[in-house]
Amino acid sequence: MTTTHVDLALEGMTCATCAGRIEGALATVPGVTATVNFATERASVDIDGVTDATDLIAVITKVGYGAHVIDREQRETEPPTDPVLTARVIVSLALAIPVFLVSMIPAWQFDGFQWVAAALATPVVTWGAWPFHRAAVRNARHGATTMDTLVSLGVAVAYVWSIYALFFTMAGTIGMRMDMVLFGYSPHSLYFESAAVVTAFVLLGRLLESRSKRAAKISLTALLNTAAKQAFLLVDGREVSVPAGALQKGDTFVVLAGGIVPTDGRIVEGQSAIDASAVTGESVPIAVGPGSTLIGGTINAGGRLVVDATAVGAGTELARLTRMVEEAQAGKAPVQKLVDRISAVFVPLVIVIAAAGGIVWFAISGDATHAVSIAVATLVVACPCALGLATPMALLVGTGRGARSGIIIRGTDVLESTRRVTTVIVDKTGTLTSGHPAVVDVFGAGFSADTIIGNAARVEMGTDHPLARAVVAEATVRGAMGAVARKIVAEPGRGVGGTLGKTLIRAGSLAWLAETSCIVPAVIAERAVTWSGAGQSLVAVAHDNQVVGLIAISDVVKPSAAVAIRNLSKLGIRTIMASGDNAAVAKVVARDAGIHEFYGAMNPADKRDLITRLQQQGEVVAMVGDGINDAAALAQADLGIAMGHGTDVAIETSDIVLVTTDLRRVADSIRLSRSTLGTIRGNLVWAFGYNAIAIPIALAGIMGPAVAGLAMAFSSVFVVLNSARLAAFRIS
């Protein structure tokens, strides 16, 4: 049965309990697996059955919330902050402040000030606090409680009690002192200022929280917004302006100097430099020419380019990266499951504790005012929001920061893996080296150099390995390209073969050809020793069972490689290079990159076995690679890191994707993941610690309702602001 995926935007959530209720409701639908993220206000749903999105929305509506489907092709931008919420905050603060001052400062009190306080507080606890009351009633109808229930109960009890005291006991004539409101109570006191201030503080906290969450989500929206809106389609030699979304795979379009590349493509004409900073975070423009691939959203910083579209819409690199980030943000860390279980019972438990506290204090003191103060403070001070935001908020900001710098963290389990990494294994070609090797020499035994390079290119067209691209590029320059071979079969890490007429042509490592009983002439073997000793990579070419030529290819170590290795060392991580090239080539590259431990002539199984051995020795291993031959090692490693320009299979088997080719991002990705994990833990310590300390303080009567409201608002805002620090994470 086919599994379909649906993303839903949720409306009406106010705390982690809401997210848990929606997730629980969706879980009751047969064939549905759902994850609800409170920070992003999204539900990620996999459907294995006949249920459709309409059924899901109906289930969510039934439990008191709203939802609509998010189209992956046409994603909505982040809406501006709710203007009604902003108005409620402004009005509530404007009215609550004078209520607070006149109630707290004896010198400001005058005959009948209690009636003024009541008049000013009434709009605050009715219109200002209306979202809390409405949500509390809505949830009560479904037999549920949330943070809104606590706030609504606290505000309502404080206000109703004050109205009772004002009208029926005439106790309002008794002034209140600062120490009584902040740290205790006074007999027959009024709580208009508590009801008003609690409302204003909680609304202010919600506004700050909303703006911070929106700012965090904008980082992902910004990634999407790098895409061009218009494109110049080439039709019969003319440039026709069309919406970028109208481009189809295979269309030829033009990118003018300074223009944004509208979709992924391959250059067929023109030379330029591409500014990819908006997508990959690389500050230095990249030189490109015919055959170079372009990512949609990058900027043409040079001359006119003619490009063939290779992917459009959801198939583009930008769309794929966005999906990876969203999937990571929708995930839950293992500790979040514990938080969810606690959040499910948190609010009912607090209500029970508050009621019990009020009853006990009334039994002890016989003072109903004191009992009300205790109950209200306990209700208001509890903060399930801090628990609910602790993990998703840090994950939202951390993954968003990474996305802006070309670091895609693909899941929450990755964070724990990066903390424990002790060893990093790096591939050579395309990872430590530039990935743009070039043919430097060709030798043929009985065949011309053009024949050797041409035949090799005709089978290498079947693979995307950097060495294969170098062979094809050289054959193209020489004019030696012919028809592509038939029945092309690649053996990852070894080579590729195909047929030309009745001849089997193979191109790959000399060791592979020798293993398959190919005859290696002495002149070929001698030349291989010479070129290998010079640190050059070799591609041997065989016709049937006879090796007939050698191609020498050279690649340069990336300028950032040595710095990247030093950065990993500063993190206490050991670096090992594992290359499919011979030991001589591996030695030269390792020396230039500053790596002391390296292995050459390794096939995919050898790399996987190396990782297995290290794991058996107690090492936690990360693998960095980009090719098909790295896929097995990436999957075996505790942490797989794929270079984003690599093959699809390498990217799909990895935990972290580096869109950039800058190897320094490896250490950056580990540092960012560790910082995100540390922030999550700090948030959870705060959230649990705050509630564990604040609730007993309120129960003890040390904290009045007004201060309790301020503390509760600060608690959730603290988690949001602490997570927001990740946005300033420094990339090397």
Residues identified as active-site: 427
Token pair recorded at residue 189: 């006191």
Token pair recorded at residue 32: 């549905």
Please state, as a whole number, how many other Cβ atoms lie within 10 Å of the Cβ of residue 501. 8
Token pair recorded at residue 70: 């998010």
- The continuous run of DSSP H or E covering 342 comes out as helix 334-365
Radius of gyration of the chain (CA): 33
Bridge partners, 233 (sequence order): 240, 253
At residue 181, φ and ψ (nearest 5 deg) are -75, -40
Cα torsion at 59, 63, 64, 69 (round to 10°)? -30
365 closest CA partner among 187, 509, 539, 575 = 187
Burial of 62 (0-12, 13-18, 19+ CB in 10 A): exposed
Q: Which amino acid is at 56?
A: L
CA distances from 286 to 135, 408, 693, 696 (A): 53, 21, 55, 60
Q: How many CA atoms lie within 13 A of 608 on its CB side?
A: 13
Question: What's 388-450 look like in SS3?
Answer: HHHHHHHHHHHHHHHHHCCEEECCCHHHHHHHHCCEEEECCCCCCECCCCEEEEEEECCCCHH
Q: Which amino acid is at 150?
A: L
Assess contact for 549 and 639: CB atoms under 8 A. Answer: no
Distance CA 723, CA 394 (A): 5
Distance CA 50, CA 256 (A): 48
Distance CA 447, CA 276 (A): 43
Please state, as a whole number, how many other Cβ atoms lie within 10 Å of the Cβ of residue 265. 28
Q: Beta strands of 647-705 (E only): which ranges?
A: 656-658
CA distances from 651 to 32, 208, 465, 659 (A): 27, 37, 15, 10
DSSP state of 519: B
Token pair recorded at residue 486: 């038939």
Token pair recorded at residue 157: 């009890």
Assess contact for 63 and 25: CB atoms under 8 A. Answer: yes
